[in-house]
Amino acid sequence: MKNLTFLLAFALANSGHAVEMVEIDPPPLEGVGPQLFGTQPGKKYLPEKAVDSPRPPHLTISRHAGDNEPLPYYAIGPDTYFLFANIAEVDGNNRGFNGNAGFVVTDDGVVAIDALGTPTLGRRMIATIRKVTRQPVRYLILTHTHPDHYYGAQAFVEAFPDIKVISHKGSVDYAYSSTIQRSVAYRKVFLPTDMKGFKAVVPNVLIDAPRFGKTTFKLGAKTFDLYNVDYQHSHGDLVLHQAEDNIVWISDLAFNGRITFMGDGHYKSALEGQKWLLQTFPDARLMVPGHGAPQTPPFPMVARTMHYIQALEAKIKSARERNLGLQDAVNQSELPEFKNDPLYGLNHRPNSNFIFREMEEEDF
């Protein structure tokens, strides 16, 4: 572990090159139907506090709002702030504000944790940071590179040219993939203005520790431990532990108040990561997910996400043992216990399909 700590310190000290950005400009995707799981217009709800909130915010983001207009935020710990997003699929009402983010203020600068879902939202996140401090953002940690956490990164690089952008080594592959081309094309259907001139950020500090290995850096008086949790949800996933404050940013390793998405990564790695999370941080003061409210111990969101994946795994395994094909297996994979969870109707059948195909690949 000491070697890993040294390696990141060396990388931070010697990553003097500017962050690379890759222009991604496909035409809007054709044939996209109406959004059935987006944010309902005309309603507004903001919880009084974020931690352990039983309900997420319900916010319509105006397309006329200026880039310098801050977003709602919450203090969740010492010098630690949280942007609490809608639970919904991206649409023209939430304008991509459907994934959480946050930031930590130190005497030597700011560490931002994820960047929201469009360059416009990234700029508004910077405006939010400016409400709290005039310190520069020195580090942007991308826990993973799904759009709702990553597409705002461009704004940080443009505002802070010397910023260090830290992410999993697999994030580089995503920046040059066909997946990001399709993803940007899809968002352009609903958010053509917000996505205009979009560029994918290629992080200039890459985490390449062994699985569940810890890599540490410091800023001011605060220590940040980054853990490689493998390819459990995306092209590469990180968990962040604020050591002195004992706050764990768990990314999308678990979801609070909605059904997980398993279109990338590996479901067995997700289950192993969830067990590791509970074993490693049983006494954490808070766990902060990428979706839903921050939670105090014993962190039931982790157990519920794990239970959902295990139950779906058992359903698909049973279907395959009965020699059912993909479509029949998906059709019989319903889980009544979870049907009322938000985004079940959006994600459950794709999740069933994903697990079936993963099991199929293991046969070869």
Q: What is the pLDDT of residue 15?
A: 52
The proportion of the chain whose per-residue pLDDT surpasses 90, expressed as a percent, equals 92
pLDDT category at 3 given cuts 50, 70, 90 is very low
Mean pLDDT of the 264-270 span: 94
User: Would residue 271 count as lying in a domain?
Assistant: yes
Mean pLDDT of the 17-27 span: 92
Mean pLDDT of the 87-114 span: 98
Domain CATH number, residue 183: 3.60.15.30
pLDDT category at 263 given cuts 50, 70, 90 is confident
User: Would residue 15 count as lying in a domain?
Assistant: yes
Q: Characterise 350 by phi-psi region: left (phi > 0), alpha (psi -120 to 50), beta (else).
A: alpha
User: Would residue 163 count as lying in a domain?
Assistant: yes
CB distance 80 to 242 below 8 Å:
yes
Lowest mean pLDDT among 8-12, 39-43, 190-194, 358-362: 8-12
Q: What is the pLDDT of residue 13?
A: 46
User: Would residue 364 count as lying in a domain?
Assistant: no
On the 0-12 / 13-18 / 19+ scale of CB atoms within 10 A, 322 is exposed
H-type helices in the chain, by residue range? Answer: 2-14, 119-132, 147-150, 153-159, 171-175, 178-190, 267-280, 300-321, 326-331, 344-362
Q: What is the pLDDT of residue 6?
A: 39
Strand locations in 69-228 (E): 74-77, 80-83, 101-106, 109-113, 137-141, 164-168, 199-202, 205-207, 214-219, 222-228
Single-letter amino acid, residue 194: D
Q: Cα-Cα-Cα-Cα dihedral of 206, 156, 130, 66, to 10°? A: -150
Q: What is the pLDDT of residue 14?
A: 46
Give the C-alpha separation, 260 to 342, whole Å.
Answer: 10
Inform me whether the pLDDT recorded for 2 exceeds 60.
no
Mean pLDDT of the 209-237 span: 96
Domain extent at residue 51: 2-300
For the sheet with 137-141, list strands across it: 74-77, 80-83, 101-106, 109-113, 137-141, 164-168, 205-207
CB distance 87 to 292 below 8 Å:
yes
> What does pLDDT average to over the chain?
94
Q: What is the pLDDT of residue 46?
A: 97
User: Would residue 146 count as lying in a domain?
Assistant: yes
User: Would residue 220 count as lying in a domain?
Assistant: yes
User: Would residue 339 count as lying in a domain?
Assistant: no
pLDDT category at 9 given cuts 50, 70, 90 is low
User: Would residue 69 count as lying in a domain?
Assistant: yes
Mean pLDDT of the 96-118 span: 98
What are 66-81's pLDDT values in tens digits? 999 999 999 999 999 9
Mean pLDDT of the 180-192 span: 97
Mean pLDDT of the 30-39 span: 92
DSSP state for residue 34 in the 8-state scheme: -
CB distance 297 to 282 below 8 Å:
yes
Positive or negative CA dihedral for 308, 309, 312, 313?
negative
Inform me whether the pLDDT recorded for 11 exceeds 70.
no
pLDDT category at 42 given cuts 50, 70, 90 is confident
Q: How many domains does the chain have?
A: 1
Q: What is the pLDDT of residue 12?
A: 55
The DSSP line for 327-342 is HHHHHT---GGGTTST
